[in-house]
Amino acid sequence: MTNAAQPMDVSSTHAPASGSETGVSYGHVLTPGVDISHRGILYLDSISVSFDGFKALNELSLIVDAGELRCVIGPNGAGKTTMMDVITGKTRPDSGSAYFGQTIDLTELTEPEIAGRGIGRKFQKPTVFERHTVFENLELARKADKRVWPTLTSELDSTARDRILTILETIQLAPEASRLAGLLSHGQKQWLEIGMLLMQEPQVLLLDEPVAGMTDDETMRSAELFLTLAGDYTLVVVEHDMDFVARIADRVTVLHEGRVLAEGSMRVVQENEEVIEVFLGR
Ligand code: ADP
Ligand code: MG
Q: What is the mean pLDDT of the chain?
A: 86
SS3 15: coil
What mean pLDDT do residues 66-91 have?
A: 96
Residue 173: is it exposed, middle or buried by C-beta count within 10 angstroms (0-12/13-18/19+)? buried
Per-residue pLDDT, 218? 96
Per-residue pLDDT, 150? 45
Query: Among 60, 46, 119, 68, which residue's Cα sits nearest to residue 89?
Result: 119
Atom of ligand 1 nearest to the CA of 52: 25
What mean pLDDT do residues 165-175 have?
A: 97
* Residue with the larger pLDDT of the pair 89 and 143: 89
Per-residue pLDDT, 106? 97
Give the whole-angstrom CA distance, residue 4 versus residue 68: 5
Give the closest residue (by CA) to ligand 1 atom 17. 56
Q: Ligand 1, residues 82, 87, 207, 257: which to mutate, most atoms within 8 A of Cβ?
A: 82
Q: Which domains does the chain have, with CATH numbers?
A: 3-10+28-280 (3.40.50.300)
57 CB near ligand 1 (under 6 Å): no
231 CB near ligand 1 (under 6 Å): no
Ligand 1 centroid to residue 226 C-alpha, Å: 26
Over residues 204-234, the pLDDT tens digits come to 999 999 999 999 999 999 999 999 999 999 9
222 CB near ligand 1 (under 6 Å): no
Give the whole-angstrom CA distance, residue 38 versus residue 79: 27
Atom of ligand 1 nearest to the CA of 91: 23
Residue 144's pLDDT band, with cuts at 50, 70 and 90, is low
SS3 197: helix
What mean pLDDT do residues 58-78 have?
A: 96
What mean pLDDT do residues 25-41 have?
A: 66
What mean pLDDT do residues 102-107 have?
A: 95
47 CB near ligand 1 (under 6 Å): no
Q: Is the pLDDT of residue 152 over 70?
A: no
Query: Among 138, 95, 119, 145, which residue's Cα sits nearest to residue 42?
Result: 119
Q: Is the pLDDT of residue 49 over 80?
A: yes
Number of neighbours of residue 29 by Cβ within 10 angstroms? 9
Which helix (H) or strand (E) segment holds residue 51: the answer is: strand 40-51
182 CB near ligand 1 (under 6 Å): no
Per-residue pLDDT, 27? 39
SS3 62: strand
181 CB near ligand 1 (under 6 Å): no
